[in-house]
């Protein structure tokens, strides 16, 4: 869980809002979650008329009599499935901003066509979830314990009684792995993976990866720092654990790497710095958390921030610590960093 979110996960019980919510009659859970087979569905249109199964990244096999129609998902998962032509019925997680506009994590979803059962950390309306008669709940996982992202810890057992769940891991692996897992999941749900828009997006991703690799090779001395801003602290992420940074590093990008001892309080994900110490690391490019939970670069008023060489040089770009796992949405992540490297001057 990148940056400040790690603190949330470490203290789930304290920060999740509200208590247990009352329910009427609970729907029976589907599947025992202990299947031994490794199938991920028969895929494509053929899957629509027969049984459905998918083995997730917890090793849990969900088996249903038909392809799920009523899908409830973490917002970013819903956005990824949307790009593959799969419409979810409900979402939880950052979906709409305070101004009522789609959150960055909602991607191209029409948020007026989905039921939002929770828009912030700790929010999950179980009664509203039950009313959707969910066939399956799908979320990402930012740890190796099978913790479903944005599913409140104190109510997870009640939520689990209503429908089986699928978890896609985004923990300690490169971006291409969860991208493929989401591709497989979408295919099992009936997506047309041979559609021109889908195959074109995958080709654009591969081309963007080649471009980033070339840019990194041409500018090996350019140092990149991944940061996130809050009012009191500045978070510097290491490349370990984060799917985007691990992948960028594998393509040759030279990152600032906080020592493991410094990342201990951040669960191994990041180091927390006071704004007075924001210049601890020298960086030529700074990638900043684009989520609405983080302060955006244009709104940072700290004098120490404005004095950073990369900031003064205008070498600050956006980063998506929770990428929408479709090839279409990941192309800009690669292209943005490639362009920044191509144009970057050594300033750190």
Contact 330, 205 (CB under 8 A): yes
Q: 0.85 exceeded by the pTM?
A: yes
The closest of 291, 253, 232, 309 to 93, measured between CA atoms, is: 291
pLDDT tens, residue by residue, 188-227: 999 999 999 999 999 999 999 999 999 999 999 999 999 9
Contact 193, 187 (CB under 8 A): yes
Contact 285, 297 (CB under 8 A): no
Contact 127, 21 (CB under 8 A): yes
**How far is the C-alpha of 36 from the C-alpha of 88, rounded, in Å?**
27
Write out residues in the chain with pLDDT < 50, as ranges. Answer: 1, 3-47
- Residue 50: per-residue pLDDT: 81
Rg (CA), the chain: 20
pLDDT tens, residue by residue, 112-131: 999 999 999 999 999 999 99
**How far is the C-alpha of 158 from the C-alpha of 151, rounded, in Å?**
11
The closest of 225, 244, 270, 221 to 332, measured between CA atoms, is: 244
The closest of 312, 330, 311, 310 to 320, measured between CA atoms, is: 330
- Residue 106: per-residue pLDDT: 98
Tokens of 107: 């991607």
Contact 223, 285 (CB under 8 A): yes
φ, ψ at 309 (rounded to 5°) = -55, -40
β 90-92/71-74 pair status: parallel
In our burial notation (b when 16+ CB lie closer than 10 A, e otherwise), range 263-286 reads: beebbebbbbbebeebbebebbbb
**How far is the C-alpha of 144 from the C-alpha of 5, rounded, in Å?**
16
Q: Which helix (H) or strand (E) holds 328?
A: helix 327-343
């Amino acid at each position: 869980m990148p940056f400040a979110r790690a603190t949330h996960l470490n203290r789930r019980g304290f920060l999740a809002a509200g208590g247990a919510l009352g329910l009427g009659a609970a729907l029976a859970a589907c599947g025992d979650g202990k299947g031994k087979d490794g199938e991920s569905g028969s895929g494509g249109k053929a899957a629509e008329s027969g049984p459905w199964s998918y083995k997730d990244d917890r090793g849990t096999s969900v088996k249903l009599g038909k392809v799920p129609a009523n899908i409830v998902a973490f917002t970013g998962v819903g956005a990824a499935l949307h790009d593959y032509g799969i419409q979810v019925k409900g979402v939880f997680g950052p979906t709409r901003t305070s101004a009522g506009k789609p959150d960055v994590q909602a991607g191209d979803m029409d948020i007026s066509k989905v039921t939002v059962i929770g828009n912030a950390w700790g929010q999950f309306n179980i009664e509203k979830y039950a009313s959707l008669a969910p066939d399956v709940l799908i979320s990402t996982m930012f740890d190796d314990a099978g913790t479903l992202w944005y599913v409140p810890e104190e109510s997870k057992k009640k939520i689990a009684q209503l429908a089986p769940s699928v978890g896609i891991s985004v923990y300690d692996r490169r971006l291409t792995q969860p991208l493929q897992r989401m591709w497989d999941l979408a295919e099992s749900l009936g997506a047309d993976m041979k559609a021109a828009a889908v195959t074109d997006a995958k080709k654009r991703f591969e081309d963007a990866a080649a471009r980033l690799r070339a840019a990194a090779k041409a500018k090996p001395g350019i140092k990149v720092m991944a940061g996130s801003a809050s009012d009191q602290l500045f978070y510097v992420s290491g490349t370990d654990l984060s799917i985007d940074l691990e992948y960028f590093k594998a393509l040759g990008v030279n990152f600032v790497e906080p020592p493991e001892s410094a990342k201990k309080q951040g669960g191994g994900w990041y180091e927390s710095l006071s704004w007075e110490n924001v210049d601890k690391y020298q960086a030529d490019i700074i990638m900043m958390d684009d989520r609405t939970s983080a302060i955006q670069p244009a709104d940072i008023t700290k004098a120490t921030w404005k004095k950073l060489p990369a900031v003064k040089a205008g070498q600050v770009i956006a980063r998506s610590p929770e990428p929408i796992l479709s090839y279409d949405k990941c192309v800009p992540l690669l292209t943005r960093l490639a362009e920044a490297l191509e144009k970057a001057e050594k300033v750190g």
